[in-house]
Structure 1
């Protein structure tokens, strides 16, 4: 998700709050590839900042504005597979939307070519982690943090379990604005998966879901996130809906879905500093706000590797 948004949040929330991958291989019938072993490459990684790993040392690759880490999950997967540098391309980019798979993306420091241009008939493995920016999840978190801060300041200084000042902005009279965005993103993803198939017909492709960002139970997350309890529940539910869409669209395309949420439960941004996969508003480890740290990227890599082993 988009790291450039975070800088804006720092200014907007000066009070101390901060903003906060698919497997279809194809055989003759166009379904899942039935290879005897996991593919060894060439491997192409596509995705947004949850794939790129902004601020996790060391930052590498061009353009610099994509904020890729040499310890993000694609790099860790490539290393475990023993791939040579020539057989691994990471074109993920912070801030990427599904449309940036097929068009160039401008960043604060350079232009990232259309990510799908990295694919070829020789590609054997593709991971894709994308969709969060299409629903504006980063800005959604930012607005919920702001709404919570205002609500908190105007109230008694304490939240009630049912307090959800942000969710009321997005769910009204039976209409769920965020769910509509998720539906639209799903349609775009289906088109992108079709294009991946056209460009890399022999590749196994894995759609990588998002890890747990917030806990499932109602909580204000203490000082870590500054969200009203009901808004924690609201945002958690929308992430679950996003992951469900990614799974559904992957399976409809004959793809494989990588579940990173289940192994990350209890390791969200509100959990203990020494176990969490996702950093809170003010990171305590080298990572972007409300993004995976190195532990999280390792956990996501392990999930991808388990999926490769399961379908080898």
Structure 2
């Protein structure tokens, strides 16, 4: 029902802008939307796992920046063939993100610290590392086969990077719905003590969740490179907030234990459709964040109201 409600909201927003925003309901505009939501969708997929356990990850934007410069640095190395460079860069970017994500989880669990504080610290660490690795400069000159793949359009409307995002969403959906690991994620967000008493170790699951968030930041970095063809130490600024917003608008509860990764995909679509639609209607750039911020607050209010309603029903 959460997913259906969010999907209905997306449909209504699309209908509204199709009527009132010039050139909104065109293949070219939908292609633009699909391109623009790809990075946020991948980041938000990993963020969904973190929020489902009642945590938060503020470091994903900085991790993305670090992973872009790591990947780009390897890809421009003349000692590798284009194929070798692309494969090694992808592994390095994803590995860097996963390792630093695991560090986030380990520090949180080792010293029982709030994930908000730990990942805020990692945001600064990763941002500084990105500047060091790149020598505070933008890295260009990526292999042409890599650039060409990033420009591919399938069936006339689906960019290659959007299909990558959909694959990540489907993998996340399968893990959360059909695996023991996925069930434990929901259970930890609902009642961590019950998970511990059942013989499982929540600590291991929590570290794994932050590792997943870091891994998806590495994948999002490769998507960023496919889209913009540059590695930048300032890439990803504010991306963590967009990822969190997509998850919350998609119906995942900030308190953990409730939500879905399909809802996250719809939430990312709502964010981008609102931004694009307002732009086509001629809204001032200062108005867009106000509207999107109001939508985020409304989503949190609805989540709180829904939680109170469920508690009342349970007491009856």
For normalisation by structure 2, the TM-score amounts to 0.28
Structure having the larger proportion of residues in helix = 2
Normalized per residue, the structure richer in strand is 1
Query: Looking at both structures, which has the greater relative contact order when contacts are Cα pairs under 8 Å and sequence separation is at least 6?
Result: 2
Structure with bigger gyration radius: 2
**What is the TM-score when the length of structure 1 is the normalising length?**
0.28
